[in-house]
Every structure is written in C-alpha cells, then in structure tokens.
Amino acid sequence: MRVAEVVGRVLYGHGARHVFGVVGSGNFQVTNALVAAGARFVAAAHEGGAASMADGYARTAGTVGLLSVHQGPGVTNALTGLTEAAKSRTPMVVLAPEATAPRSNFFIDLPALAAAVGADFHRVRATHAAEDTGAAYRAAARGATVVLGLPLEVQQAVTGAWFGPVPAVAPTPVIAPQVEPLLAALQAARRPVFIAGRGARAAREPLTRLADACGALLAVSAAAKGLFAGNPWNLDVTGGFATPLTAELIGTADLVVAWGSTLNMWTTRHGELIPPSALVVQIDHDPAAFGVNRPVDLTVAGEVTAVAEALLARLSVGSTGPGDATTGGWRTPELAQRIRDHGRWRTVPYQDEGGGAPATIDPRTLSTALDDLLPADRTVVVDSGNFMGYPSMWLDVPDVTGFCFTQAFQSVGLGLASALGAAVARPDRLTVAAVGDGGFVMSATELVTAVRLALPLLVVIYDDAAYGAEVHHFGPDGHPLETVTFPETDLAAIARGYGCDGLTVRTVDDLAPVRHWLAGPRTRPLVIDAKVSAARGSWWLEEAFRGH
C-alpha cells in the first residue's frame, strides 16, 4: 500500500478517532486513509481554527489530538494554535505534508519551524512508514506536540513492508522516586499547601489522600482548575486569580509543595504570594523544569502520581507528625467554614458597575447569573483578554477536564475553536466558550463549523468594544486609545448570519431566553453578546500590571 495509507492506518490503530483540519492536495490522501480506517474528520473553516480544535479536543478527551493540514501555507496558518499546544504540552500530532524541493513555492523548513515553537519533529520515511508514524504517536502520548513531516513524494511511494497489528503505547517506566526529604518536610509542617499544576491533572485521588494524611490545603494553577472540585479544603486557583482568602492562607504557609507546576509568575503573583519563610518543594517528571521560574528548596524527580503514592506508602507505616489533621494542623472546623463562606469569588462583595446609557452589565453580575442558569455538567473554555478572569473564576466546573485554559501563548482568538474541539470530545456536556469581542471577531469564521457540527455550544462574548487589556494598561497614563477602541457592533447579528441563535444582553433580565435555549434541543449554537461595563480593568489585570 502507499505510505499515506500506512500513516492513516497506524494512527487509527493507535487510537486516533478524530482528526481536525482543512484538506488540500498534500494531505488529501492521508486524511482519507484515516477516514477509511474509521476516524471522523472534522472540517474547520481555517487551519488556525483546526489547530485549536485539535488542542481543545486533546485537553478535554485526555488523548492525543490529530491535526491535518496542507503543505506550506496550511502549516503556517496553523502556527499560532500549534504554538499554544506546544507550550501547553498538549499531546498532539500534526500531519504536515512537506514540499522538499527548495525552489517549491510551498517549501518551508519544517524542522526549524517546529523547533522555533517548541514542538517535536518527526519525519516519515518510505521504508519505515509504520515505525516512524508509531514513534510520533508515542512521543505525543507522552506529552509532546509533534509535527510529523510527510514528504509529498514519500506519501505516494508504495511500501512493501508488512503491515500488522499496531503495538500498544508502552507506559513510561516508573523509577522509584526519592521521597525521604519531602516526607520529613511534610511531617514537620504545620501549615502545608499543595499547589497542583498542569502536570498533576491526572492525580486528584492520590493527592487528596496525601493532603488528608498530612493536613494540607489544596490549590491549583489555572491550568488545573477543577482538579479538587468539591473538596472542602480546596482553595481553587492561586496566583492572580486567587481570592483574598486564598492569598491570605498561602501567604501564611510554612510548606508549599508544587505538584507538576513550575510556579510561574501568574501562579505566584510575580513571586509575592509565597512567603519567604516557607519551604518550597517542586515535583516534576522533567528535572529541567526545576527552578525555572523561582528558586526552590527541595526537588523530587518523578511522575506526580508515583511520588504521591510513594509518600502515602511511607505514611501508612509511620506517624504523619505535627502536620496531620488530627494533631493540631490548620485544618480546623473554623477554617473549613471560612473556605465555605469566602473561598469563591462570587462570595466576595463588590459594587455593581453596570447601568448607564446605553446600559451595560457588570461582568461579575453576568458571570454569576450564568453560573446559576447553566447546568453543572459543563465544559468551560476561556479565551485570552482583560475579561478572562470572570468566566474562569465565577463559572464553576465539575472536574479538571471541564476547564480548558488557552493561555500558554497568551494569544487572543483561540477560545472559540478550542471550545469546538472540547465539544467534540464531550458532546454529553454543555460547552461554554467565553471570549472577548476582539477574540470573537478574530475567530468568528469558525461559527460555520459550529453550526455544521450541531453541538451543544454556548458562546459568551464579554463585549467592551475594545481590546480591554490595552485600554486599561495604557489609558491611565494618558496615552491615546483610538487604535484599541471600536464602535459598538451588533455581534449577535453577526452570529445569526452564520446560522447561530444570537442574543444581546445588557441586564440580567436579558438572559431569560437562555433558559429556553437550554431546555433543548440545543442543536444550534447560542451566541450571547454581553455589553459589559468597562470602567476599570479586571482585578487580575491590575495585579499583573504590578509586575510589569
């Protein structure tokens, strides 16, 4: 068979069931090979959208995402979404046809491009097509975004290699972690806090058991929101999104253990959140991640789950020490009550800034009302911008796969398409895409795809008629803002033009039609153009500017 067919069959054999993309001549045959094997092809309007769909799908499904694009401009059109995936360590394979003749108008240096954005690069050879494809998939399954070069002439080659059953992806060998110093630190601590990051998304159960054993409070980076949902000791997101109570408690910790988190400036409020007196420990499977963002006192190399289970095994045969919840740690009934009363942003009092003429709605009021309206079983996908803290912190999620945070590259405009990928991964849940008006306009073309897929999708536009981050960054210093402010636009009408239902919201009462849409059948996306008040920047943005 031809190499293109081998590639498609191997990927399907490894478990690829969805492939997102835009088909051209260079990826026509390999995409059709995947479809013939049994995979579903999701046609996007633009390769940039397809890349974000594959990214959102992989994050939500917890499996390898697949992107198929045309050679040359198909690859470069996908580049921003590909960069976001690589920086987020999303498991993804990009089927990238290669025009290898340097004088071809489609030629680009694919290995250099992949290296520039932090992705791995593999290339398929005619005589080793199955092995090379399998190696790329296995690399992705271990947590890499992989650009798989498919030279055009190689795709057409007939391979005589026998094609048999595809071997399973072998698990990464687990090396017994050295946990004795961390065990001693946990036993000595009286106010321990666990901060779980992207690398701990699969470790809820062992981390909660370990926290119970040593009396730790639980917090997450934004990328791991939902990991400890429902736990009474959950402080939710730390860093710039932290509630005043979360910031207070982390600020008095004597031990901070970072599980699969590099403690970047957003997670630590530019280093100010963690007290200087606290012992800081970092656990990561990649030793290169140790201390990349701040000094740490102790490191443990190993997978998060393996380290937590090793500690639990040690604790099961000995005393947990003074940090244990039963021996005077800070897990008291009084603290539990404070977390219940003040551990969520919607319980923090604020002065509503809505109103005016024409009327606008406070983004906190909007988000609270939506949280009450929407079913609890939801996936929330958040684009980038001034607005993003409101849906991230006011909309609850049921678990860690219910939150998709496209912020590793901090690009505006990826949220809508990422939400489509998430909706394909979990059609049983309502998917909520939270976007700003700038990001919506950038990505609105993918509403065509949303209508075509007929998936349960709610798009909420926090519309301040501006690039709000720039307005609130430069406006206070008196800079002219004409380049980042725009006339009010009827974005709901634009959505209706694509075939969606559209709704303009200026008050809470304007949300009433959402109830009817939620009642079903929800086969047409609903786009809410919420005209939000913009008198000041969001609280998290003000915090971020302090570090600039």
Residue 452's contacts (CB-CB under 8 Å, 6 or more residues apart) are 43
What torsion do the CA atoms of 442, 444, 449, 450 make, to the nearest 10 degrees? 120
Q: Model-level pTM?
A: 0.94
Vertex 67, ends 62 and 71: CA angle to 5°? Answer: 160
β-sheet with 457-463: strand ranges across: 403-405, 378-382, 430-436, 457-463, 526-531, 501-505
Distance of CA 248 to the CA centre of its chain: 26
H-helix segments, 284-414: 304-315, 333-342, 363-373, 389-394
Q: Quick one: which of 70, 72, 42 has its CA closest to 54? A: 42
Q: Residue ranges of the alpha helices (H) in 89-174? A: 110-117, 129-141, 152-156
pLDDT in tens, the chain (548 residues): 899 999 999 999 999 999 999 999 999 999 999 999 999 999 999 999 999 999 999 999 999 999 999 999 999 999 999 999 999 999 999 999 999 888 899 999 999 999 999 999 999 999 999 999 999 999 999 999 999 999 999 999 998 755 566 766 666 666 668 899 999 999 999 999 999 999 999 999 999 999 999 999 999 999 999 999 999 999 999 999 999 999 999 999 999 999 999 999 989 998 899 999 999 999 999 999 999 999 999 999 999 999 999 999 998 765 444 444 444 589 999 999 999 999 999 999 999 999 998 999 999 999 999 999 999 999 999 999 999 999 999 999 999 999 999 999 999 999 999 999 999 999 999 999 999 999 999 999 999 999 999 989 999 999 998 888 888 888 888 998 899 889 999 999 999 999 999 999 999 999 999 999 999 899 999 999 999 998 887 877 777 666 54
Specify the pLDDT at position 235: 97
| Side chain identity at residue 476, one-letter code | P
Residue 167: what pLDDT?
A: 67
Rg of the chain's alpha carbons, rounded to an integer? 24
3-state helix, strand, coil in the chain (%, to 5): 45, 20, 40
Distance of alpha carbon 515 from alpha carbon 126, whole angstroms: 56
Confidence at residue 226, expressed as pLDDT on a 0 to 100 scale: 98
